[in-house]
Amino acid sequence: MGIDWRVAAIVALITLSIYYIGLKHFFNKANDWRVFIPLLFLFSLAAMAYFIQVRSEVKAGTESYVLAIGLMVLIGIVTVTSMYAVNKGPVGVVAPILAFSAPLIALLGAYLLPNEQLTTLQWAGIALGLISVYLVSVG
């Protein structure tokens, strides 16, 4: 039995906020971002070890592996570009811009996924999100 998805989302929100502040602090101390590469490699190895352990339960074909590799490449791009943005820009502006991924994901999900639909309230939230990112980034 896993934790409720709402709890997981709140934990992700809190840890992502701490991550951005910590990352900015890391760069303010003139540290080199390349130190993250071996750490990312170690976490990848840990994930692979876990996968090997539960492999007998995994029912996946070639398409699943191709999709998983593609998603891992995207995660790598997100990591490097967000590190660069936080390093070069003010975290108070960069973080809200990066947080705009939530409304963007909602829009793309409604467009690309057959069972996802946006309610009027969600459309209003997306509009408010756009306005808030604009206000934070120009202020």
The pTM of this model reads 0.62
Range in 13-17, 60-64, 118-122, 132-136 the model is least confident about: 60-64
Q: SS3 of 68, please?
A: helix
pLDDT per residue as tens digits for the range 70-82: 877 887 788 778 8
Task: Indicate the SS3 state at residue 2.
Answer: coil
Residue 8, Cβ density class (10 Å: 0-12 exposed, 13-18 middle, ≥19 buried): exposed
Give residue 58's pLDDT. Answer: 62
- Residue 108 has which token pair? 């793309």
Residue 123: is its pLDDT beyond 60?
yes
Would you state the structure tokens that stand for residue 95, as one six-digit string? 């973080």
- Do the beta carbons of residue 47 and residue 53 sit within 8 Å? no
Q: 8 pLDDT exceeds 60? A: yes
23 burial via Cβ count (<10 Å: 0-12, 13-18, 19+): buried
* Least confident piece of the model among 10-19, 51-60, 94-103: 51-60
Contacts 24+ apart (CB under 8 A), 59-64: none
Q: Which of 26-35, 58-67, 80-89: highest mean pLDDT?
A: 80-89
What type of residue is 101?
A: S
Q: Percent of the chain beyond pLDDT 70?
A: 91
Reported confidence tier of residue 121, pLDDT bands at 50, 70, 90: very high
Residue 1 has pLDDT above 60, yes or no: no
